[in-house]
Amino acid sequence: MSALHIFVQNGFTLAFRTYGRGPRSAIAFHGFGGTGRNFEPLAPSLSDRFTTYAIDIFFHGESRFPAGRTADEPITPEEFTDLLRSFMDANGIGKAVMMGFSLGGRLALTCIERLPERSAGLWLFAPDGLVRFPWYRAASKWGWGRSIYRRFVQDPSRVHWLMDTARGLRLVTDRYHKFLKGHTSDTLRRQLVYDVWLSLRLLEPDLAQVGAHLKKYDLRAEVFLGLRDKVILPQWGRNLKRHAPERVHLHMLETGHQVVTPDLGMRLTCLS
């Protein structure tokens, strides 16, 4: 098991683990409800080529906002960029492949958007950030939406009724409905959803800008999607590819949403 390390700047605490001792660097962001340890399945395949810095996303693991600062005061793109740049400088990382699974995909995309000159490529695994959901924007960005969600943390009945209605109207798939209900099944889970959604709500990557940077900085984006994934639909990969068709490469896997497996690690060795 990799040891936990801590980096602190301007009150922000980043907890991270390192995997491998390879000459190239990768920075990895996990999915909702996980930690940097979620990238352990890739370590046996990548350790000779990469040193992977697997970061705990805020409100997960041991990463923390500054004392006294809550999710209602989200991290800004400028703060995120400065924090990541300083993290890379402190760890002697010149450039890194930006990796992200599910929720972490949105952060990896933000890295390419905001810090392309320090990026060595983009590896996405069933990533968030390929589409924008109006209901997410309402729940996290607007004051009335946040007010509703605060009440939802204590009493989920009304929002669960809306989720059920959306499924009945086929506005969401059965699998995505199950995913949403499962992540809001108790108060602690609902609080985590609230904290994560609100704290990261300003990090919403512009895919056109990401595509422009992939082309300008001659970067490749490798996007792995599960053909049976009902959370991040495989066709959403085209939303990024259309902005840089020669730079973005889509890989379809015979899996559901959980694509970070030893088999994925073996596939990645062919890219590195």
pLDDT in 10s for each residue of the chain, 272 residues: 688 999 999 999 999 999 999 999 999 999 999 999 999 999 999 999 999 999 999 999 999 999 999 998 999 999 999 999 999 999 999 999 999 999 999 999 999 999 999 999 999 999 999 997 655 555 556 565 656 666 666 666 666 777 788 788 887 777 777 767 766 667 777 788 888 988 999 999 999 999 999 999 999 999 999 999 988 999 999 999 999 999 999 999 999 999 999 999 999 998 86
> How far, in whole angstroms, is CA 255 from its chain's centroid?
19
pLDDT of 17 reads: 97
Instruction: Give the burial class of 237: count Cβ atoms within 10 A of its Cβ; 0-12 exposed, 13-18 middle, 19 or more buried.
Output: buried
For residues 205 and 108, give the distance between their C-alpha atoms in angstroms, rounded to a whole number.
9
Q: How far apart are CA 213 and CA 216, in angstroms?
A: 5
The DSSP code sequence of 174-230 is HHHHHHHHHTTSSHHHHHHHHHHHHHTTT----HHHHHHHHHHTT--EEEEEETT-S
With a threshold of 0.95, does the pTM exceed it?
no
Supply the pLDDT for residue 93: 98
Name residue, tokens 């996007």: 223
Please give the pLDDT value at position 188.
77
Helix (H, G, I), strand (E, B) or coil at 262: helix
Domains in the chain and their CATH numbers? 4-131+204-269 (3.40.50.1820), 134-199 (no CATH)
Which residue in 120, 74, 90, 71 sits closest to 16, CA to CA?
90
Specify the pLDDT at position 150.
64
Angle at 147 between CA 14 and CA 168, to 5 degrees: 100
Give whole-number Cα distances, 186 to 51, 60, 118, 156, 192, in Å.
Answer: 37, 17, 40, 9, 10
- Please give the pLDDT value at position 151: 66
